[in-house]
Amino acid sequence: MLLSEPFLNDPYFKRTVVLLCEHNEEGSFGFVLNNYIDVELNQIMENMPAYEGKISIGGPVRNSNLYYIHTLGNLIEDSIEILPGVYMGGNFETLRKLMFNGKITPEQVRFFVGYSGWSPQQLKNEIDTQSWFVADVNQETVMNTSIPDLWKVIMLKMGRKGQMIANMPEDPSLN
């Protein structure tokens, strides 16, 4: 999990928490967990059932596409486990059928419009310059969309330095 530095003044990444899904020599990508939009799933994509969960802006890349993570494992064939108990993608028609049949709750699937991406070495360079802090992640945190101020909650768990950073005002001139 990546947490943006407290004064990053970017509309997509200001005080964000990013679930890093893949990081290799070809680059990195993930989804912003704490930037929600007020829109219904069936307004984004036709022929979708009602969905009571929050939808996130996953990042600035391919923001005309819908992505999802879930806890359904092999129930959604071709899904990829990205951390213990959390999977990405898989057969979308299977997911859609399960949703129409009422077999999926918002706690089991999260949707994202777009994703966050980095070219080779870009993320490493940003971490080295402390644009991002790295934290451990678990299924419960990733799938829970009801944690108020997720960035601050996770930062507070990162020890003394994290606690100082979490309590910094967004505008340093107000300090």
Q: Render pLDDT for 91-138 as a digit per residue (tens, 0 to 9).
A: 999 999 999 999 999 999 999 999 999 999 999 999 999 999 999 999
Look up the CATH number of the domain holding residue 58.
Answer: 3.40.1740.10
In the prediction, which pLDDT does 174 show? 65
Instruction: Report yes or no: 51 and 99 within 8 Å, Cβ to Cβ.
Output: yes
Taking Cα atoms as reference points, which of 3, 20, 146, 27 lies closest to residue 88? 20
Please give the pLDDT value at position 173. Answer: 67
* DSSP code for 55: E
Q: What is the pLDDT of residue 169?
A: 81
Reading the block at residue 22, the tokens are 């893949």
Query: What is the spatial distance between Cα 172 and Cα 157, in angstroms, rounded to a whole number?
Result: 22
Residue 172's pLDDT is: 67
Domain span at 143 = 2-174
Separation between Cα atoms, residue 41 and residue 106, nearest integer Å:
12
Question: Largest Cα–Cα distance in the chain?
Answer: 53
The number of distinct structural domains making up the chain is: 1
Give pLDDT < 50 ranges for the chain: none
State how far the Cα of 76 lies from the Cα of 79, in Å rounded to an integer.
Answer: 6
**pLDDT of amino acid 103:** 93
3-state secondary structure of 165: helix
